[in-house]
Structure 1
Amino acid sequence: MQLLEDFPHFSLWHDPSCDCLYASWWGEHTGIVTRVQYDLIRWHLRVTSSTKLLNDSLLDQNGWSQVTCWLANDGLRLLARDGLQIIAWVLPQHAGAFFDTARVLAQAKEPLIDTFTDAQAAYDWLHRWPLGPSTAPTPTSLLSMSAAKFLLLAPNEQLETVKQMGRPLAPRWEPDYYVKPYHLLDTLLVEVYYQLHSGVFQRLQAQLIR
């Protein structure tokens, strides 16, 4: 990877092997500085023709508090306009920064964003995206799966089936939950709810697609 930018609380790297930029944020930084750094990300997106961004804010400490509305309504939209298709966002551990990040993601419309709790998982996911058909053998029980059979499964079996067979859609944030929707079997919309602050699985809802 090539180091593109190096600041006291921000660094930016480029990985040409997967058309990715990797932004790392830590500590506290003002709204003005944050906007400048997002402008740098935009510039490097255009120069490198990157389409993916790993936004690692694990060690960020309230860096978005002054730019929440701008980032959700303008900053991310401008990144998408400059070619960014997807963001793997590593959530901050700091409570205030986590709250600000949740506010941003609740309002963001584009690009596609998924969230992670560690950078390695985000990195691996970006390298696999766009997610193609699984090369792993599909269990016989899944090959014969139907919507009716899925709805009769126990909740833990439903969750495992969704992870193996579902096509992920853009996640969303609600006041108390992080919701990951999936299309399953071309006939079901399945939404998996996780507790917003703990990340613990809460419930699963499924409905037929008409």
Structure 2
Amino acid sequence: MITVLKNIQKKLFNKLISLYQIFKYSSKVVIQYEHKTNKTFSTEAVICPVTIENAGDASVYNGDRFIIEKYKKMLLQGDLGYYAYLDNKWVHRSWVKVGPKRIEKWYHLPPQTLKADEAYCHFGETAPSARGYGIAPAVLSRIISDLKSKVNHIYVMVDENNLPSRKTVEKAGFIEIKRKKVVKMFGIQYYKDL
């Protein structure tokens, strides 16, 4: 009986946190970058495309089976995924959406409309134990190389306050093209070009 009550308390607490996240006020500035300069990076990590078969490799970091199912769904929707492995261990993920496509819902980013010759890199993250090895710029370099014959424009958006990510994309040859303010109130997001 005590276990059942604890589970109910935990679920109720999680619901309250979710409601708080929906209704709380937040404001941030995001920077949109476009790839302009070809740069090649080498890394000790092995970079390979995500497939249905290896999508679960990220579970060592994410741990949540729901996330792995989300990755598989992203693949089925046409997204391209890239994993990096260091010493045969999963250490990085990056995802790419290729146009034409309308992207309505993002974690905290404005919606995007991609034309047929555009791609958008998103959802990139390196495990803390593998940061500083140049893996993220090498993965971006691989993505750019793989897409150069398919698209003319490759974009990425970064939170203005995320200096490590900004340095990574700039190192990989991306330049800032615009900034947007994202304000969230009562579960509704508003966007304004700066």
TM-score, reference length from structure 1? 0.28
Q: Which structure is higher in RCO with an 8 Å CA cutoff and minimum separation 6?
A: 2
TM-score, reference length from structure 2? 0.30
Bigger strand fraction: 2
